A and B are shown apart, each in its own frame.
Chain A
Amino acid sequence: MVSHAGVDQETFAKFRNWRINRAEYAKQWKQRTGGKVVGYFCTYAPEELMYAAGILPVRILGSHEVQDVTEPHIFAMFCPFCRDCLAQGLKGRFDYLDGIMIAQSCLHIRQAFTSWQKHIPVDYSYYLPMPHHVQSQHAAPFLTKELEVFKASLEKWLGRKIGDQAINDAIDVYNRNRQLLWRVYETRQAAAPPLTGEEALEMVLASQMVDKQDHSAALETVLARLPARPATRPTGTRLMILGSEDDDLEFIHMVESCGATFVIDDHCTGTRYFWNEVAPDGSPLARIAERYVKRVPCPTKDWPERTRVRHALALAKAYNVQGAIVMQQKFCDPHEIDTPALTQALRQAGLKTLFLEFDVTVPIGQFKVRVEAFLEMLHEDDLF
């Protein structure tokens, strides 16, 4: 575990502990509730529906360790993240899962799911054909039907019906958590943000691993404490981080130890996970479908228009960003295709960018040299 100088241990310790002890948390949750735990592979998973069924949905993430167990299962030209996720299963680190599911996203991560299906015993697995053409008027009706099929499958597995009231309640639980996360994020617009990017990442990661009601209670505490939180470090350069899946806390910590603070992100372990709420009107499954179709998209679903670029620029403006670090998971095709257009748009908006390609481990020393140079460059104008 890395050191966390500049991080208020008391306020954010709970999130970090949940992340580190996620297996223990899930096992205790099962004992406490009698429910089942399902691992999901992409943030397009409709967690509300699973939660309504008495399931704790937890995101399967990697460990950022070098491993040699996935080579027979996934061709090495696919992204290190999907291989890292599968490695966790093959090493038995998710032995508490009762089931797995994936909502169709990129080709890479679905291989972790299909290999898991075959080689790691679980009671239940489900592949949800989440539509790609989310800009089509027909995507949400199609997804609504697919959610009906998924619901029937869950009911068959669990041996009980999932009522509309339970789904509506689950939507409320998830919406509340999204609103609280958004409120914490909003505080980062301040000239001196009361939390670091590392703390924000810990917070969002934990939300993908624990019961949303527990997480929301912790967020309420955070929101109560933040206004009085003493500034323990200078903000420095205000940065944005965006790109492929990236939950590398060590990297975030390194950058923030170089005189900078991440004030906003466009990541599926950040804003893309919680930014959009389920709307209040309509049938529960149609509302859920609408939310996942209209959320800030992963680039694999962002076509024909590139809506994510517009969203990223709006975030950069709202959070008064001075520079952007574009993180590229090696071999992540959808992001690789978007990167030239995205960086061009950021530069045209007056934001300098630093592009870094990372693997399952991050070369901290090399990246630090480049990050320091980038930060120096951002402040060249200040010299004159």
Chain B
Amino acid sequence: MPNTATYKTAPLKCWSKAKELRLKYYEDYAQAHERGGLRWAGGAWSFSAIPAGLGRDVWSLTSEPYSASIAFNKPLSLRCLEAAEKAGFARDLCAYMRNYWGSVLLNEYAFGGPFPKPDFLWQDHICCTHAKWYQVVSDLEGGIPHFCIDVAVGPYQDVAPHKIDYLVNQMHDGIAWLEKTTGRRYSDELLIEAVKNEFRSTSTWAEICAYNKNVPAPLEEKSMYSLYVLGTLHKHDREVADFYEELRDEVRERVARGIAAIPNERCRLMSDTQPPWGFLNIFRYMEEFGAISIGSLYTFGLIGIWEDKPDGSWGPRTTPMQKGIEINSRDQALRLYADWTLSKPEWQHFYSPHLKTEMMLRIAREWRLNGILLHYNRGCEGLSVGIAENRLGLIEAGFPVMAFEGNMGDEREFDEARVKARFDAFMETLGFKKDGKSGPRSTGDRHA
């Protein structure tokens, strides 16, 4: 076997901490009632800093990462999917949603024990599925109170005061609803603290991803999934914001020391949409060709908040705190929060695939890519919407594209051998051959 290692590698020092934080999150949620606290469930994109104003003993279960955890456990996932189908739900619906419903129907929590019923549902809506998901959850659980905020006001480039007003007015209604539903008095102080944490965590995550512009990249996408997930669990949490700053410092140091994610980096790729969670080994297969996925609009922009920098590059959005803005009131916090969140990159393509193509091209150029992998993800209409137009736009701009069909959360719709065969052909067209070895792992170990 030829030794094709070019770069030094090293494990991430904070890897185990990321794992601990994730496990603690799911345990905290399950044990909330034992501690006299509250449980709520909602999407990873929901305005999670708002329920934080109810107290420090309020824990959440965000649906998408929870469902991805189910999908990683194939036997459990299959039982969940079949339970949802048995209840009358179509097999082509969102795979996360079906896994989640199945977990409720089976009364099995993926982290052990019965499914911990939430006290209330707190959601946002930009995808057709979002509010409807929890409408069904409420039904299945015997009528859990449900509040949902519509955020589909158009792309951020067209943001206007009346659009912010629409979101903020719903948020104010939501806070009144939270007080009424839980019987608790709301703390603006805790809200402001949580909003600041979220600004910090989502901007810092973007900064971490921007370091992957470096050649060799300090992180590879399979490991990034285990890191970005914290932002999908509780992005408003101080521990997450602090962790991302610790991670950012370590990644910066890796770049300074020339530490690579994979030792044989020769071909830089990005993916798109959620990966097939039960088949993350395809990323390791890619490395046999010296190919690294440096991330994706999904990994960068699902929680990361970005902006145009003065030099024309894409980088972390400057937080209100960095701008010297003092946040003194509920309404001010909510307005800043609405504006901040509306600039989320992964919300823009809901209005036009052409906006997404522009962002993908930007990544392809600034992160110096050789090609792009598009996961035509049957499990997620929200992130697959417009993907065929993205393909056309990327090809038109001169980037090689490999499309493959699959499903992030339904293993019955992913053909591993076929995808690998397509990848072989893609690599051949790009002029890369297998090393015959995959080299040591750098940024993490095997993970969900």
**A residues neighboring B (CB under 8 Å):** 71-75, 77-78, 104, 106-108, 110-111, 114-115, 117-118, 127, 129, 131-133, 136-139, 141-142, 145-146, 149, 299-300, 303-304, 306, 328, 330-331, 333-334, 336-341, 343
Say whether B128 contacts A106, CB under 8 Å.
Answer: yes
Chain A residues in 8 Å Cβ range of B160: 145, 149
Structural contact, A114 and B381, CB atoms closer than 8 A: no
Indicate the member of A75, A127, A146, A338 with the most B CB atoms within 10 Å. A75
Q: Are B386 and A114 in contact (CB under 8 A)?
A: yes
Whether A333 pairs with B152 at a CB distance below 8 angstroms is: no
List B residues 143-185 near A (Cβ within 8 Å): 146-150, 152-154, 160, 162-163, 165-166, 169-170, 173
Q: Establish whether residues B129 and A333, one from each chain, have CB atoms under 8 Å apart when the complex forms.
A: yes
Q: Which residues of A contact B128 (CB under 8 A)?
A: 106-108, 300, 333-334
| B384 in contact with A127 (CB, 8 Å) | no
Which A residue's beta carbon lies closest to that of B97? A337
The complex places the Cα of A273 from the Cα of B138 at a distance, in Å, of 29
Known: A133-B149, A304-B135, A334-B128. A75 touches B162 (CB 8 A): no
Q: Is the CB of B381 within 8 A of A107?
A: yes
Q: Ordered nearest first, which 10 A-B pairs have the shortest CB separation?
A: A133-B150, A340-B88, A145-B162, A142-B166, A303-B131, A129-B154, A336-B90, A138-B169, A337-B132, A132-B150
Report whether A111 and B173 are in contact in the complex, using a CB–CB cutoff of 8 Å.
Answer: no
Shortest Cβ distance from B122 into chain A, in angstroms?
A: 12
Residue of A nearest to B393 (CB): A118
Can you offer 21 A-B residue contacts whose CB atoms are under 8 A? A73-B388, A75-B384, A75-B387, A110-B385, A117-B354, A118-B354, A129-B351, A136-B173, A141-B166, A142-B165, A299-B132, A303-B135, A304-B131, A304-B134, A304-B135, A304-B148, A328-B90, A336-B89, A337-B93, A340-B87, A340-B88
Q: How far is the CA of A334 from the CA of B382 in the complex (A)?
A: 12
Please give, as numbers and ranges, the residues of chain B lying within 8 Å of A138 by CB-CB distance. 165-166, 169-170, 173
CB under 8 Å from chain A, chain B span 83-133: 87-90, 92-94, 125, 127-129, 131-133
Q: Are B153 and A129 in contact (CB under 8 A)?
A: yes
Q: Which residue of B lies closest to A149 (CB)?
A: B160
The minimal Cβ–Cβ distance linking B169 to chain A, given in whole angstroms, is 4
B162 and A142 form a contact (CB under 8 A): yes
Question: Which residues of A are found within 8 Å of B163, using beta-carbon distances?
Answer: 129, 142
- Determine if A107 and B350 form an interchain contact, defined as CB atoms under 8 angstroms apart: yes
Q: State A78–B378 Cα separation when bound (angstroms).
A: 9
Q: How far is the CA of A141 from the CA of B163 in the complex (A)?
A: 10
Contact present for A114 and B354 (CB under 8 Å): yes
Contacts known (A133-B149, A145-B162, A336-B92); A303 close to B386, Cβ less than 8 A: no
Total interface residues on B, CB under 8 Å, equals 52
Are A333 and B94 in touch, CB under 8 angstroms? Answer: yes
With A111-B386, A304-B135 known to touch, is A339 a contact of B352 (CB < 8 Å)?
no
Are A136 and B170 in touch, CB under 8 angstroms? yes
Residues in A whose Cβ lies below 8 Å from that of B134: 304
CA distance A25 to B168 in the complex (A): 46
Q: Which residues of B contact A73 (CB under 8 A)?
A: 388-389, 392
Which of B92, B125, B150, B351 makes the CB contact (< 8 A) with A77? B92
Q: Nearest A residue to B384 by beta-carbon distance?
A: A75
- Contact A75-B150, Cβ < 8 Å, known A107-B128, A304-B131, A306-B135: no
Contacts of B152 in A (CB 8 A): 104, 129, 131-132
Q: Does B353 contact A (CB under 8 A)?
A: yes
Q: Are B351 and A341 in contact (CB under 8 A)?
A: no
Contact residues in A for B89 (Cβ distance below 8 Å): 336-337, 340
Contacts of A111 in B (CB 8 A): 353, 385-386, 389
Do the beta carbons of B381 and A133 come within 8 Å of each other? no
Q: In whole angstroms, how far apart are the Cα atoms of A137 and B386 in the complex?
A: 31
Of A77, A108, A118, most B-chain CB atoms within 10 Å:
A77
The answer to whether A118 touches B129, judged by C-beta atoms less than 8 angstroms apart, is no
Contact B386–A77 (Cβ < 8 Å): no
Distance (whole angstroms) from the CB of B175 to the closest CB of chain A: 14
Chain A neighbourhood of B127, CB < 8 A: 107
CB distance from A120 to the nearest CB of B (A): 13
B321 on interface, CB distance cutoff 8 Å: no
In the complex, which residues of chain B have a beta carbon less than 8 angstroms from the beta carbon of A133? 125, 131, 148-150, 170
CB of A51 to closest CB in B, whole Å: 24
Q: Say whether B367 faces chain A, with CB atoms less than 8 Å apart.
A: no
Q: Taking CB as reference atom, which chain A residue is nearest B153?
A: A129
Tell me whether B326 is interfacial, beta carbon within 8 Å: no
Q: Which of the residues A71, A131, A306 comes within 8 Å of B150, measured between beta carbons?
A: A131
CA of A138 to CA of B392, assembled, Å: 38
Is B47 interfacial (CB 8 A cutoff)?
no
Once the chains are docked, how many angstroms separate the CA of A131 from the CA of B389?
A: 25
Cα-based distance from A133 to B152 in the complex (angstroms): 9
**Minimum distance in angstroms from B41 CB to a CB of chain A:** 14
Residue of B nearest to A77 (CB): B378
Bound state CA distance, A133 and B167, in angstroms?
10
Nearest Cβ on chain B to A136's Cβ, whole angstroms: 6
Which chain A residues lie closer than 8 Å to B352 at the CB level?
Answer: 114, 117, 127
Residues of B within 8 A of A114 (CB): 352-354, 386, 389
Q: Does B139 belong to the interface (CB within 8 Å)?
A: yes
Q: How many Å from the CB of B85 to the closest CB on chain A? A: 11
Which residues of the partner chain B approach A141 to less than 8 Å between Cβ atoms? 166
**CA distance in complex: A314, B136 (Å):** 22
**CA–CA, A320 and B162, complex, Å:** 45
B29 within 8 A of A: no
- Asked if B376 lies at the interface with its beta carbon under 8 angstroms from chain A, I say yes
Whether B93 contacts A74 by the Cβ 8 Å rule is no
User: Given the complex of chains A and B, what is the CA–CA distance between A111 and B378 in angstroms?
Assistant: 16
Rounded to whole Å, the gap between the CB of A130 and the closest CB of chain B is 9
On whether the beta carbons of B392 and A337 are closer than 8 Å, the reply is no
